[in-house]
Amino acid sequence: MKPIIALSIGVLFGFGLTLAQMTNPLAVIRFLDITGKWDIRLAFVMCAALLVTLVGYRILFSKLDKPLLSLKFRLPNKSNIDSQLIIGSIMFGVGWGLSGYCPGPAIAGITINPRESLIFILAMFVGVKAHHLSVETQRKVKIAQ
């Protein structure tokens, strides 16, 4: 049952991303291009997504102690601002601006623009692996010390 529900939530998300034109990298770049012919469309997308999530989270956190199909809410527990957050977010922004793809739209757009999506996702896989390896190496160095 859980796989089907996770799949359905993904379908809704991917459908929404495509309806919102997030899967169109040109629309994303036009949105980021504030000094050019700025396309305000994605600002509406972000505002609507945020508003629904903000209100929805408020209601469900105030009414429920635990999620319906799991034992507890698993919220990110980090609260400090560190250099990893800052450097990682800037790196992500540079990558996003270069192609107009971020992770969700690249995956949702795999049948819409397969060539670009597939190359991007494979490269993203390499980036994720590189990060995992660097974490692993740092851990080993620490243990050795």
Partner 1 sequence: MVEINSQVIVSALSGGALIGLSAVLMMLLFGKIAGISGAFGQLITISKGSLKTAASSWQFYFLIGLALGGWLYSKAFGINFDMRENFSTSLLILSGILVGFGTQLGNGCTSGHGVCGIARLSIRSILATCLFMGSSIVTVYLVKL
Site for partner 1, residues 51 to 90, rule: CB under 8 A:
51-54, 56-57, 60, 64, 66-76, 78-81, 84-90
Q: Which is nearer to partner 1, 80 or 145 (CB)?
A: 80
Find where tokens 């190359």 sit: 119
Q: Using the rule CB under 8 A, is 137 a contact of partner 1? A: no
Containing 96, the helix (H) or strand (E) segment is helix 83-99
Q: Is the distance from CB of 110 to CB of 117 less than 8 angstroms?
A: yes
Non-local CB neighbours of 99 within 8 Å, separated by 6+ positions: 25, 116, 120
Q: Using the rule CB under 8 A, is 138 a contact of partner 1? A: no
Using CB under 8 A as the binding rule, the residues of this chain from 9 to 38 that contact partner 1 are: 9-27, 29-30, 32-38
List C-alpha distances in Å: 45 to 42, 51, 69.
5, 10, 29
Cα 31 from Cα 41, distance rounded (Å): 7
List C-alpha distances in Å: 18 to 55, 74, 108.
23, 28, 7
Q: Using the rule CB under 8 A, is 139 a contact of partner 1? A: no
Tokens of 41: 């469309």
Write down the least CB distance from residue 139 to partner 1, Å: 14
What single-letter DSSP state applies at residue 71?
S
Write down the least CB distance from residue 77 to partner 1, Å: 11
Write down the least CB distance from residue 143 to partner 1, Å: 19
Write down the least CB distance from residue 145 to partner 1, Å: 22
Write down the least CB distance from residue 83 to partner 1, Å: 9
- Site size for partner 1 (CB under 8 A): 112
Q: Which is nearer to partner 1, 34 or 143 (CB)?
A: 34
